[in-house]
Amino acid sequence: MGRSPCCDKDGVRKGAWTPEEDELLVQYIKKHGCGNWRTLPKNAGLLRCGKSCRLRWINYLRPDIKRGPFTSEEEGKIIQLHGMLGNRWAAIASHLPGRTDNEIKNYWNTHLKKRLCRSGHSLEAKEPSFGSHRSEEKYESSSSVRHVIQWENARVEAEKRLSMELESSCLNHSSKTNTHSDCFLRLWHSEVGQSFRMITVKKAESDSPTSQANSFFASMAQEQASSCNPKVQGTAGSDSGSHEFLDASDSALKLLLDMPDGNLGFFEGLEQNENFQGPLHDRYD
C-alpha cells in the first residue's frame, strides 16, 4: 500500500514563495476556495505541489493569521497545554486562535523549551535571565503556572529516562521496569495528576485577571480527565461531582503543590494507593 508522492518532482518549484505566487494562491482561494489541494496548483497556475500550497496558505496567507510576538497569556497557554498534550502542536494550536501549529512548534523549540531547560532545577531561585522580560515576570509570578512548569520539567525528564530504561530493559530482555520515572508518569496520568491539572486551572482562574481566557482550561482538563479515566467520566459533567472529586484528592494535591523541586520520593508511597493507577499501567506493564 505504498504512498505515491503528492506531486511530480519535475517542474515543481521549491523553496521560498514569491509575492507573485502568494498573490496567485490568495486570488484563487478567494474565488474558488481550497477544495482539492492536489489540483489547486495546476488550476491556479502555480508550479508548486499541493502540499506546499496548503502549507503556505495555512501557515502564512490565511487572513485570520495572527501576527506579532506571543503574548504572556499565549505563552502560559502553550506551556500548560504542552504539559497536558505533549507535542501535539495542532491540538495546541486549536486553542490559540490565529496561531498555527508550525508557529507554536517553532516558538516552543526556540524559546520556551530552552527557557524551561535553563530554569530546569532552579525555578524557585529566580535567575536573572529568566525574568528579563515583562511577560516572563508575569507568568513567573503566577504560582499555578510555575507549578505546571515544574511538572512539565519533571514529565519531560521522566519520559527521557523511561525511554532509556525501556531501551536498556529490551537489551537485557527484562520484561518489567518499576522505576522512579515511570512512577512519576503514572502519577501524571493518574487521578491525582488529573485533579492537579484541574486545581491548577482553578488557581489560574482566580490568580489571573483574565479569568475568562483561562476558563477554557477547565473544560480542557475535564475533557482530558474524562478521556483518560473512566472513573472521572461519570462526574465530569456535573459541578458537584467534580468538586467531590477534587476534595477527595485535596490533601494529596496540597502535598504535590508544595512539593520541593525534584523530590520524587513522595511518589513512592503513593504507588501503594489504589487510586494511583494511571493508564500507563496498561501501557507499560
Distance from C-alpha of 82 to C-alpha of 115, rounded to nearest angstrom = 14
Which residue, among 62, 46, 59, has the nearest Cα to 14 in the 3D structure?
46
Footprint on this chain of DNA (rule: CB under 7 A):
1-4, 6, 13-17, 35-39, 48, 50-52, 54-56, 59-60, 87-91, 101-103, 105-107, 109-111, 114
Give the shortest CB-280-to-DNA separation in angstroms.
19
In 3-state terms, what secondary structure has residue 235? helix
What is the 3-class SS of 60-123, one letter each residue? HHCCCCCCCCCCHHHHHHHHHHHHHHCCCHHHHHCCCCCCCHHHHHHHHHHHHHHHHHHHHHHC
**Contact criterion met (CB below 8 Å) for 202 and 219:** no
Decide whether 6 or 170 has the Cβ nearer to DNA: 6
Give the shortest CB-246-to-DNA separation in angstroms.
29
Q: C-alpha cell of 86?
A: 505533549
Decide whether 5 or 260 has the Cβ nearer to DNA: 5
Give the shortest CB-137-to-DNA separation in angstroms.
18
CB proximity list for 60: less than 8 A, separation 6 or greater = 17, 22
Give the position of cell 487510586: 275
Decide whether 107 or 184 has the Cβ nearer to DNA: 107
Which residue, among 145, 188, 149, has the nearest Cα to 284 in the 3D structure?
188
Give the shortest CB-37-to-DNA separation in angstroms.
3
Decide whether 109 or 143 has the Cβ nearer to DNA: 109
Distance from C-alpha of 41 to C-alpha of 172, rounded to nearest angstrom = 53
Distance from C-alpha of 28 to C-alpha of 37, rounded to nearest angstrom = 12
Give the shortest CB-110-to-DNA separation in angstroms.
4
Give the shortest CB-1-to-DNA separation in angstroms.
4
Report the amino acid identity of residue 144.
S
Decide whether 160 or 254 has the Cβ nearer to DNA: 160
Give the shortest CB-152-to-DNA separation in angstroms.
15
Decide whether 106 or 227 has the Cβ nearer to DNA: 106
CA 278 to chain centre: 19
Decide whether 14 or 30 has the Cβ nearer to DNA: 14
Q: Which helix (H) or strand (E) holds 164?
A: helix 143-171
